[in-house]
Structure 1
Amino acid sequence: MDRGDVPSNAFEAEPTTIRAQMSTNISDEAFFDALDLTHPGLEDVNAAVNNQDYDQAAIELAAYMRSRGRQTTSPKFYVDSDIPSELSSESVRASSAWMSVSDWDRGDNDETDFMNRFYWLHALRLAYEYTGDEKYADAFEVQANDWIGNVSFPQKNELTGDGYPKRFHSPWSPLSAGKRSQNFVVAYMAFAPVLDDDTHINILKSMLQHAQYLYLVNEECYYGREGDPSFINMQVDEMVGLAMIGTMFPEFKESRNWVDRAYDILYDHIEYNVYPDGVHKELTPRYHNAMLWNYFLAIRMAELNNLNISGFDMATYEKMFDFMLYTAEPDGKSPPIGDSENAQLDVFLVMGASLFERGDLKYLTREDFSTNLMLMGGDLILQRRVMERFQKLVPVEPTETSYAFGNAGFYVMRSDWTMDARYLLFKNGPWGGTHSHRDQLGIEVYAYGNRLIVDSGITDYSGSDVGYLRSTGAHNTVMVDHGEQPITSDYRVDEWTASDDYDFVDGTYDWGEGVTHRRKVFFVKPEYWIICDILEGNDDHDFYQLFHFLPTEIEIDPVYNSVRTNYDGANVLLVPADAQKLSVELFEKPVADDKGGSMTQHVYYKKSGKTVSFYTVIYPYKKGEHPEIDVTQLSVTENEKTLTPEQATGLKIEIEDYTDYFLISNTDTGSKKCEDIELDGKITYIRKDKAGTVVKTIEK
């Protein structure tokens, strides 16, 4: 496209507040007026502008930008960026698919968002750096000019009724503008030496427009409109985009203001949207890790360009890596809690380890993990400097195995830090917004190299199963009458204990309508778990204790109602304590995975009544083993009066070479007794060998 004004469509209605403040058509005169022509290197541009020769000014500016890209004193985003060996010829060929123009508005759907964020520009850039073939730069020219020439700012249907931008599914949604800014800037920095004059000016005009837009929309929509600094994750993407434009293009007069605005909002965001324990308030690993990445970009960009960001809360940022580390499953992947997937964490571990010089973050990376520069799912490439820091670190085993994030409501029980570790994640905490699921008191279990009891997760938002995947029925908790957990702040965790011999958590959630669910989990370290569910209601209800498994053959014992998986690897055996008082059913339901979704086995134990209890043993075991476990429920007495199982119960758990006795009280009354065992506190656990000798005792 020829250089000219950045086009826009006319509005039929009155201009909106944001639109009225923006240059929706950027003439040459307005564009050059936005530049600081006293900036070193712009002398020839300044002379041409003073003569009102804007064609010559454009030629001089394009020449300056080409040479600036080769200068070591120019703004930096990448330093000493070697081409990673991981960028194979297949990656190069794949990037060729994006060498043509496209229809940028695909309607009210996720495809419009994808097309207008230009994620694939990193593949084009890397392919160009890897091969030196200018066809990739040509592709960028075609795509950038086509987008700039055909997507106007902003179209009427991209604004809400009160004149603010739509958040999704429009080319000029603030989030798409923020991500597009990041991707355009990085690609432009790489391709600048070989772009033609018109492309330089078109992109620089567009970046000016993006910066004006992001600056204004984040003033009005957040500070003015909402009136408080409780932001959502999208604004961080937007502000990183604004910071990149301001930092990478200091030739604009307003660049310093853009940078200041961006970092001020980033300071506020980490202050107001991260809990004191380091968990992002949306409470999903996917968006928590996205914030880790965006903050990292802002920090690295400031470091490379000598920006003072002393106002950024680095202590809280470091705690965010603790959440990633201690909730990671033993294979180094994040648990798929909320709108998340079971994703590899290596890139984030490298970021945190190098930035804070922490060997414990390096400890969890895979042994075959490349120490070359890495690709992050088609996103940005990490600098050699980061990898050099990472390589110098000595891996150190994390100091804790089990860990609690009490503000956010995540509790992790872990036996050790090997790949064979037994791991259970328990969740009971605040509602995290639109990306949260109705999964209170839910669990995820991993052991001996396998995910054994799985959370639903979500990989994308376009499938027909999204509603189910977010529902209570898709999680490993208890469902009441096939209903949904309400969104409420009426939850609590009364106790968390982590020790060498056992872990214990006790949480309660109010279902509403007179129903309360209390779940206790006891970890007999390092072997197995006991789940204790107490449900109390004013009326009769059907209660379903839910468990979900990845696709496998499920064996259900018709007498004991035990459930056994048959994975090719480690497996798990579920044994209920009162098999004759419940029913068991098996269904197939969807679950998210890295391929976009699959079917899972869904098992529930059912009881009905006003007040019921479930006591279930979760016993994981290695490949090749096939343990047989008997669980018998025992009566507990107090002052010679037999208590209900909801008040207190005893379990006799016979596991091959030993017998465990587990007594638990759910009331605060006095001393209790089960057979010849006294229960003076909340829990008594005793292990006896085949000879009946007590070999282990735990009292709580």
Structure 2
Amino acid sequence: MRLKFIVITIFIVSTTSIFAQQEWKHVLSINDLYEHYPEVIEKMFFNFNLDYPGLEKVKVEYEKNNVVAACQNLLEYYKNGNTASYLRIKQPITTNQRESLADSILQNIFIIQGVKGQVPVKENGHRNWNYRGSNNDVEWAWLSNRHPQIDSLFLAYKRTGNPDYAQYIDLFLRDFIIASMPYPAKASSTEIWRGLEVSFRAKVWPKIFYGLINSNYLSPATQLLILSSLPDHAHYNKNFHKKTGNWLSMEISGLATVAATFPEFKKSKEWLAYSITTMVNSMKAQVYPDGVQKELTSHYHNVTLESFEELKNICERSEMPLPEYYNKTLEQMYGYSAHTMRPDGSGPLNNDSDRNNIRGLILKGAKTFNRDDWKFIATNGFSGMKPKEQPSYFYPWAGHFVSRSGFESSAHWSFFDMGPWGIGHEHSDKLHLSISAYGRDLLVDAGRFAYSGKLYKKFRNYAIGSAGHNLLLIDDKGQKPGPASVKFPIDNNKVRIEEKFDYATSNFNSFNVEGTVDHNRTLLYVRGEFWIVVDRINTSKPRKISALWHWHPSCIISADAVITKTNNKQGNLLIKPITNQSFQLNLVKGQENPVQGWYSSEYNKVEASTTSIYSTYINQDDTIAWILVPGKQTIPNLKAKVLSKNKENIKIKVTSSNKTWILNIPFYDSSGVKVIVK
């Protein structure tokens, strides 16, 4: 009997303890919050300007020490006011409609960068906000704590009117804010308090607050918790933001969002003024005069662009002027995205990038800046006005050279990297060449793989090194890092864009090898026909040269002697050396050690792909020339022959069944380039 009593007692104590631990779930009303977390309320009022128009009743009750009544008046102010009117919505009609992705979120199953994970719930009822996903990747935790899941769930609620989705958001936010207390008020890289995550939450929460303020689903306690925590988010982004790069732009756009959507905070004017000054100075520091963000990755270029545009929109709504430079640079940044877009609508996969579709981004920029030429590019010519210039583009500060045959979806497209390393997310890939044609990626950059976790350990060195790019390895070694940025643009004599051809040349001379070596690569694109690539190697000693050509995983590859080609139903390419070196050709796919023959179209995604490796030995300075021939189905039968070469240029004859091209290709400047068609 005594044993039974002990067991019952333990059960009751345990149950009571668990209930007490989970008591935060039952904090729903103003009274509940003030009873259990009075310090939250006091801190919240400390951050409010109670002299702000409309808060008179709040101030009266607060000064009487009627804190609960002051809170009631504050929430009534927001419920009935017009602050951030663009975020307020008409509540949807209540239904039982469901969406599968939203329903999985209700089970705490989140998909972050393509990786699914179910966030565990601790004994105290709080989700484990430090959970790193199924790959134990801290990036997963960081991105999850930006709260994209409730952003998605809010959209699902607007579409369906299902209260389950809004109620989950309420509990989710109450859980997170209470679990994240106290605010550390110092720079951090933890899963919860890191600058990027802080800035993203600062942009998601106002949408939730104003979008649900007139619903029955965002509890008064959660509303007050949001109002108490957002000043902490603003404080973090103002005081602990990065000093440059895309991080700075994202963090400051978060600060500006809080300032503009909650002007009732004491420091909102100060925060917005600081945001404008900092963002303008940041734009000058991290964007080249040609409009390219200095990390030189299309992905983070567009991330930064969108952060800059967020501030522009905030300032327009707040009637705060921005300097003309700001709008002009923003237009240039959109122009870069439009001009470098592949025919299928994605951006280049350069440095740390994903193969993102950017048509929508470009169309948004076309509308903002009234650019029908960008609209034409983004729609493959179905709308807008055809650009007056040739279809190829060169960005002299970034060193990015894009060749095209046209703007249609089947057009030839190539991306030649002639520029510096980049100030962040860099790859050692100067002189890399990517090619797409007839709606298919053919030659590719290997991608970025991951920033932490298992994939990082296995593939990161490959991703950022020369081995993951279409380059030359010298004695099996790649390029050294740098330089990160440049103070001057590339000379005009390094590039020519003509009606019939494009020409570009650049070099790199810092390799992880003994002695000295300079690799100069010259690209000649005969528009609508073929590419010629000329690699000039100047060396102080004999070398092993390995030329790497990485194919997209979808390509069916075959090799015959020293010719590599694809055998796809549509969209093909042939690569053939046309100088007289003796090459050993190996096709490598999915190799583990050393890592070779892999491709990552987006973060956390990996596929085996074929790399053609052409190896040869040179005893002294030498020139290697290649012809790259695209074909829609059948690859044209072109014959290429070297007519002459010296240390300054090469002359090549290319023939088809009905044409002959005589090509004079100088190595170091464009003045002597000639393309004669017979």
Fold in common (TM above 0.5): yes
Maintained 8 Å contact 1:469/1:590? no
The CA deviation string for residues 155-211 of structure 1, in whole angstroms up to 9 with x for no partner, is: 6xxx9xxxx624x45311111111111111222221122322211111100112212
The match for 1:556 is 559
CA drift of 1:532 comes to: 0.5
What's the secondary structure of 2:308's corresponding residue? helix
In 2, Cα distance between equivalents of 1:530 and 1:178: 46
The match for 1:570 is 571
Q: Does 1:603 align with 2:606?
A: no
The match for 2:192 is 171
The match for 1:191 is 212
Read off the aligned partner of 1:518 and give its amino acid letter. Answer: N
Give 1 or 2: higher helix fraction.
2
CA drift of 1:27 comes to: 4.5
The match for 2:624 is 614
The CA deviation string for residues 566-622 of structure 1, in whole angstroms up to 9 with x for no partner, is: 123110011211355222221111111258121111012222223222100011011
CA distance 1:77–1:295, change in 2 (3 Å):
farther
Counterparts of residues 273-288 of structure 1 (less than 5 Å): 273-288=286-301
Q: 1:205 aligns with which of 220, 228, 234?
A: 228
In 2, Cα distance between equivalents of 1:138 and 1:340: 36
The CA deviation string for residues 293-342 of structure 1, in whole angstroms up to 9 with x for no partner, is: 11222222222333333476111110001110111111221011111122
The match for 1:131 is 160
Read off the aligned partner of 2:568 and give its amino acid letter. Answer: Y
What's the secondary structure of 1:506's corresponding residue? strand
Q: 2:264 aligns with which of 251, 261, 271?
A: 251
CA drift of 1:237 comes to: 1.2
What's the secondary structure of 2:613's corresponding residue? strand
Counterparts of residues 437-448 of structure 1 (less than 5 Å): 437-448=427-438
Read off the aligned partner of 2:639 and give its amino acid letter. Answer: D
Identity of aligned residues (%): 24
Counterparts of residues 312-391 of structure 1 (less than 5 Å): 313-366=326-379
Maintained 8 Å contact 2:102/2:165? no
In 2, Cα distance between equivalents of 1:272 and 1:6: 49
CA distance 1:352–1:626, change in 2 (3 Å):
closer
In 2, Cα distance between equivalents of 1:311 and 1:498: 30
Q: 1:454 aligns with which of 424, 444, 452?
A: 444
In 2, Cα distance between equivalents of 1:427 and 1:232: 20
The CA deviation string for residues 333-386 of structure 1, in whole angstroms up to 9 with x for no partner, is: 1011111122111221122112111112222334899xxxxxxxxxxxxxxxxx
CA drift of 1:489 comes to: 3.3
In 1, Cα distance between equivalents of 2:63 and 2:36: 26
Counterparts of residues 10-25 of structure 1 (less than 5 Å): none
In 2, Cα distance between equivalents of 1:88 and 1:606: 58
In 2, Cα distance between equivalents of 1:301 and 1:476: 42
Report the aligned-residue RMSD.
2.9
The match for 1:307 is 320
Read off the aligned partner of 2:598 and give its amino acid letter. Answer: P
CA distance 1:79–1:171, change in 2 (3 Å):
closer
Read off the aligned partner of 2:405 and give its amino acid letter. Answer: S
What's the secondary structure of 1:581's corresponding residue? coil
The CA deviation string for residues 376-419 of structure 1, in whole angstroms up to 9 with x for no partner, is: xxxxxxxxxxxxxxxxxx61122331111000110111121111
Maintained 8 Å contact 1:666/1:682? no
Maintained 8 Å contact 1:475/1:546? yes
Q: Which moved more, 1:280-289 or 1:291-300?
A: 291-300
What TM-score results when the alignment is normalised by the length of structure 2?
Answer: 0.83
Counterparts of residues 102-141 of structure 1 (less than 5 Å): 102-106=127-131, 109-141=138-170
| Corresponding residue pairs, total | 601
Counterparts of residues 653-672 of structure 1 (less than 5 Å): 653-666=654-667
Maintained 8 Å contact 2:83/2:262? no
In 2, Cα distance between equivalents of 1:43 and 1:605: 77
Read off the aligned partner of 1:501 and give its amino acid letter. Answer: K
What's the secondary structure of 1:418's corresponding residue? coil
What's the secondary structure of 1:57's corresponding residue? helix
Q: 2:459 aligns with which of 440, 465, 474?
A: 465
Read off the aligned partner of 2:187 and give its amino acid letter. Answer: P
CA distance 1:568–1:52, change in 2 (3 Å):
same
Gaps of at least 5 residues in structure 2 are 1-23, 110-120, 590-596
What's the secondary structure of 1:120's corresponding residue? helix
CA distance 1:132–1:328, change in 2 (3 Å):
same
The CA deviation string for residues 515-570 of structure 1, in whole angstroms up to 9 with x for no partner, is: 10101111112211110100111112211122111123322122xx1111112311
Read off the aligned partner of 1:264 and give its amino acid letter. Answer: T
Q: Does 1:96 align with 2:106?
A: yes
CA distance 1:664–1:295, change in 2 (3 Å):
closer
Gaps of at least 5 residues in structure 1 are 9-24, 223-230, 370-393, 637-642, 669-679, 688-694, 696-700
In 1, Cα distance between equivalents of 2:623 and 2:573: 22
Maintained 8 Å contact 2:245/2:424? no
The match for 1:11 is none
CA drift of 1:91 comes to: 4.9
The CA deviation string for residues 242-293 of structure 1, in whole angstroms up to 9 with x for no partner, is: 1111111111111111111112111111111100000001100000011121
The match for 1:538 is 540
Maintained 8 Å contact 1:277/1:407? yes
CA distance 1:62–1:523, change in 2 (3 Å):
same
What's the secondary structure of 1:511's corresponding residue? coil
Read off the aligned partner of 2:508 and give its amino acid letter. Answer: Y
The match for 2:3 is none
The CA deviation string for residues 403-462 of structure 1, in whole angstroms up to 9 with x for no partner, is: 110001101111211112111111111221331211101111111211111112225424
In 2, Cα distance between equivalents of 1:136 and 1:302: 32
Q: Does 1:151 align with 2:180?
A: yes
CA drift of 1:135 comes to: 2.1
